[in-house]
Amino acid sequence: MTVIINARIYTGEQTIEDGFIRFDRTIEAIGPMSKFEEIAGEEMIDAQHQSLIPGMIDVHIHGGYDVDVMDGDVERLRHFSRQMLQEGVTSFLATTITQDWGNITRALETVREVVAQDDTTIVGVHLEGPFINPDYAGAQPHEHIVEPDVEQFLKWQKAAGNTIKLVTYAPERPGARAFEEAVRLTGAIPSAGHTDATYAQNQAGHVTHGTHLYNQMRALHHREPGTVGYCLLTPDVYAEIIPDGIHSAPEMVDFAYRMKGADRLIVITDAMRAKGLADGEYELGGQAVFVRDGAARLENGSLAGSVLTMDAALRNIIAYTGCSLEEAVRMTSVNAAKELQLTQKGSLSVGKDADIVLLDEALHIQETIHRGTRHRITNGKESTS
């Protein structure tokens, strides 16, 4: 048993200014220091009034650290999963890209195998494409884009061991209504993205999630609100946001925050293989990607994911919007867990997984705890204790 004392704890529901948290694999006790009682033999860590937050959740990430989900390699995917701990990420959705159907199947089978080992930070799959609008493809390879296909989706959900939790698709394409129903029946969430859907078409599809807000979706217009307008104006829609200052200007991130509030924005990275590596030439979906000055682009200039880390995203969302750390915790942990029904994740309370992040005053990661195992972070790298 381990206990952290003298911490400012952001549980996701409340803030404990001077508190303790006791845990093994799950959280055993949490509360103010006034109620703390030491247990003989337990390991005690003095947080010295630094901040504790729930482990962060990234629902849209293709890769990083020279690994891509589409590599379809179990050991490389496990390596990537471990690397995410240095960013304070204890849960994420391994995100695919539009590709040859066989490549997607292999990637999904690989995720299923890794998740089955039950020691990973991967909690499911975000199937991004191929059921999208080719006019809004962005970095999604055009040659593999298809119309929404119920039969193929069900095959992929089976290949993934029913771990597909989020599906990016275009609600305006033929067959979308039947597709949405099939996706929901498996427990996954249809998400509007890479789409030219009007406000009315999103309404018809009862869309409740928007993929990387603003990017590759029908824009806001004063006579037709588009997918952007739908995501911003519809109260029950969760909208992903990439706060890297590249995909969206900081002012537009702030605009989304003012429109949606902290309870319906979900911070993501949309990161690709080059995250954590030097500038240079990399690959995404079989395409050459050039990374320079923090931006990843195809040869034609289209953005191709990001190299954003989740801890930087946490700091950026606060800097861009002026939100509190308590609100940032909702956008980096709480909201994703609620939407995806990750009942053991997203907040700090008794019985939940001991997924905890220790932050210094500048909001840099000092330690990430994943299911009770401590990972100390030094110079951006983790070492397991």
- The catalytic residue positions are 270
| Cα gap 273→77, rounded to integer Å | 11
Q: Following DSSP, what letter does each residue of 83-151 receive, concatenated?
A: HGGGGTEEEEEEE--S--HHHHHHHHHHHHHHHHTS-SSEEEEEEE-SSS-GGG-TTS-GGG-----HH
Alpha helices in 208-263 (DSSP H): 226-233, 250-260
Q: Which of 335, 293, 330 is nearest to 314 (CA)?
A: 330
Helix (H) and strand (E) counts for the chain?
A: 10, 23
Task: Report the amino acid identity of residue 263.
Answer: D
Is residue 330 within 8 A of residue 49, CB to CB? The reply is no
Quickly tell me which residue has 């989740």 as its tokens. Answer: 310
| Cα gap 106→288, rounded to integer Å | 21
| Cα gap 260→289, rounded to integer Å | 32
Please list, in sequence order, all residues whose beta carbon lies within 8 angstroms of the beta carbon of residue 43, skipping any fewer than 6 positions away. Answer: 1, 2, 3
Q: Which residues pair with 32 in a beta bridge?
A: 19
Please list, in sequence order, all residues whose beta carbon lies within 8 angstroms of the beta carbon of residue 303, skipping any fewer than 6 positions away. Answer: 138, 139, 215, 246, 247, 295, 296, 297
Phi then psi for residue 155, to 5 deg, are -65, -40
